[in-house]
Amino acid sequence: MRIVLLGAPGSGKGTQATILTKTLNVPHISTGVLLRQAVQDQTELGQQAEAIMNRGELVPDDLMLALIKERLSQDDAKPGFILDGYPRNLSQAEALDGVLAELNAPVEHALLIHVDVDHIVDRLAKRAELENRSDDTPEVIRKRMQVYEEKTAPVTGYYQQQNKLTQVDGLGDIEEINARISAALGH
Ligand code: AP5
């Protein structure tokens, strides 16, 4: 199954993908995780991305496309994937369709996890205490939300036009939300 998870920062994409990867037996591909690893390893990509991520802005599309293309071409992604954090703007959505057309493996489902802003701020403030992620400061969270509204939210329309979009309520217990997602996927 080939799935794109959409939703604001803190909506639970990573949390739900961690469960889905086991039940669907396809890899969870998170561009945020891949980028944080690159930063930690201080690769060329990591060095280019670090300051941008710390400001809550988007890493340039060409760097992201190279990263995702390489990851999707790996063998474990052949049976499918759960994409978390990509695409993040319309140009990335179009680029992804291009890459997947070459692989003859189009996106099947785009799932939007909806959570209101108050709950998101609450969740990210809690995560900041636990995980110390450098972009979970109040100022950078505000910036990430703004970038989401301006650039990422329109991506939902892109998948709606393709009749691939389902919105899921992202409030409640993690298991409850997972059940909603599984039902939406018919799984
Ligand atoms: P990324 O890592 O993708 O960050 P994000 O989209 O802001 O997502 P988060 O990881 O904050 O949230 P999430 O939706 O995964 O929620 P989670 O499950 O963690 O990107 C980071 C940066 O990398 C970007 O700002 C950008 O700079 C760069 N980047 C990444 N991809 C890019 C791209 N394609 N193009 C350009 N730049 C890119 O949950 C959040 C918290 O809530 C957790 O603590 C969790 O335990 C808790 N939680 C989850 N579910 C529940 C629940 N049901 N109830 C209560 N708490 C819950």
Residue 91 sits in a domain of what CATH number?
3.40.50.300
Taking residue 167's Cβ as centre, other Cβ atoms within 10 Å add up to 16
Q: Which of 8, 5, 38, 44 is nearest to 24 (CA)?
A: 5
Token pair for residue 120? Answer: 């998101």
139-152 pLDDT per residue, tens: 999 999 999 999 99
The ligand 1 site (C-beta within 6 Å) comprises: 7, 9-15, 31-32, 35, 52-53, 56-59, 64, 85-86, 88, 92, 123, 126-127, 135, 144, 174, 177
Q: Which domain holds residue 104?
A: 2-185
Instruction: Point out the least confidently predicted range of 7-21, 74-88, 126-140.
Output: 126-140
Ligand 1 centroid from CA 172, angstroms: 17
Write out pLDDT tens, residues 151-160: 999 999 999 9
User: Tell me: the pLDDT tens digits for 50-99?
Assistant: 999 999 999 999 999 999 999 999 999 999 999 999 999 999 999 999 99
- Report the separation in Å between the CA atom of 31 and the middle of ligand 1, taken as the mean of its atom positions: 10
How much is the average pLDDT of 7-13? Answer: 97
Count how many domains the chain has: 1
Residue 38 DSSP label: H
The share of the chain scoring above pLDDT 90, in percent, equals 98
State the average pLDDT for the chain: 97
Per-residue pLDDT at 21: 98
Q: Which pLDDT value is given to residue 127?
A: 94
Which of the residues are catalytic?
A: 13, 88, 127, 133, 144
* Long-range contacts, 10-14 (Cβ 8 Å, 24+): 10/115, 10/120, 10/121, 10/123, 10/124, 10/127, 10/141, 11/113, 11/114, 11/115, 11/120, 11/170, 12/113, 12/115, 12/123, 12/170, 12/174, 12/177, 13/84, 13/85, 13/113, 14/84
Please tell me the least confidently modeled range out of 60-74, 119-133, 163-177.
Answer: 119-133
Residue nearest to atom 25 of ligand 1 (CA): 56
CA of 127 to the centre of ligand 1 (A): 10
Residue 7 CA to ligand 1 centre (angstroms): 9
- The protein residue with its alpha carbon nearest to ligand 1, atom 17, reads 12
Pocket test for ligand 1, best of 19, 30, 31, 174 (most atoms within 8 A of CB): 31
Res 129 pLDDT > 90: yes
Spatial distance between the Cα atoms of 98 and 143, rounded to a whole number of angstroms: 29
Q: Is the pLDDT of residue 187 over 90?
A: no
